[in-house]
Amino acid sequence: MEIQKENPELVRGLFSDIAGRYQMVNHLLSGGLDFYWRAIAVRIIRPWKPATVLDVATGSGDLAMAIRKACPGARVVGADFCAPMLEVARKNGLPELVVADGMSLPFADQNFDVVTAAFGLRNMASWEKGLSEMARVLKPGGHLLILDFSLPTLPVIRPLYRFYLHHILPHIAGIATGRTDAYEYLGGSIEKFPSGNAMTSLIDSCGFRDAIAHPLTMGTVSIYTATRK
Ligand SMILES: C[S@@+](CC[C@H](N)C(=O)[O-])C[C@H]1O[C@@H](n2cnc3c(N)ncnc32)[C@H](O)[C@@H]1O
What ligand 1 atom has the least distance to the C-alpha of 102?
A: 20
Tens digit of pLDDT for each residue in 144-163?
A: 999 999 999 888 999 999 99
Tell me, what's the pLDDT at 186?
A: 83
Reference 67, options 59, 89, 75, 109; nearest CA is 75
Cβ atoms within 10 A of the Cβ of 2, count? 9
Q: How far, in Å, from the CA of 123 to the mean position of ligand 1?
A: 7
Between CA 186 and CA 197, with CA 191 as vertex, the angle to 5 degrees is: 125
* Ligand 1 mean position, distance from CA 5 (Å): 15
Measured in Å, residue 161 CA sits from the centre of ligand 1 at 23
Kindly give the distance from the C-alpha atom of residue 99 to the centroid of ligand 1, in angstroms, as a whole number: 11
Mutate to test the pocket of ligand 1, among 58, 77, 134, 179 (most ligand atoms within 8 A of CB): 58
Whole-number Cα distances in Å, 47 to 66, 70, 114: 14, 10, 11
Q: What local confidence, expressed as pLDDT, does residue 185 receive? A: 78
| Type of residue numbered 200 | T
Ligand 1 site residues (CB inside 6 A) read 8, 11-12, 15, 26, 57-60, 62-63, 80-82, 85, 101-103, 118-120, 123-124
Interacting residues of 156 by C-beta distance below 8 A, sequence separation 6+: none
Give the pLDDT score at 25: 87
Please identify every stretch of the chain with a pLDDT value under 70, giving residue numbers as ranges.
1-6
Residue 143 burial (CB count, 10 A): 22
pLDDT at 112: 98
Four-residue CA torsion sign, 164, 166, 171, 176: positive
Domain topology for 8-151+195-228: Rossmann fold (3.40.50)
Q: Write the single-letter amino acid at 153.
A: T
Q: Are strands 52-56 and 75-80 parallel, antiparallel or unpaired?
A: parallel
Residue 21 and residue 88 in contact, taking contact as beta carbons nearer than 8 Å:
no
Structural contact between residues 51 and 74, judged by C-beta atoms closer than 8 angstroms: yes
Neighbours of 35 (CB within 10 A): 12
3-state DSSP percent of the chain in helix, strand and coil, to 5: 50, 20, 30
**Measured between alpha carbons, how far is 113 from 104 in angstroms, rounded to an integer?**
18
Beta strand 221-228 with 208-216 is antiparallel
Neighbours of 75 (CB within 10 A): 15
Q: Indicate which atom in ligand 1 lies nearest the CA of residue 6.
A: 16
Which pLDDT does position 177 carry in this prediction?
78
**What are the extents of the domains in the chain?**
8-151+195-228
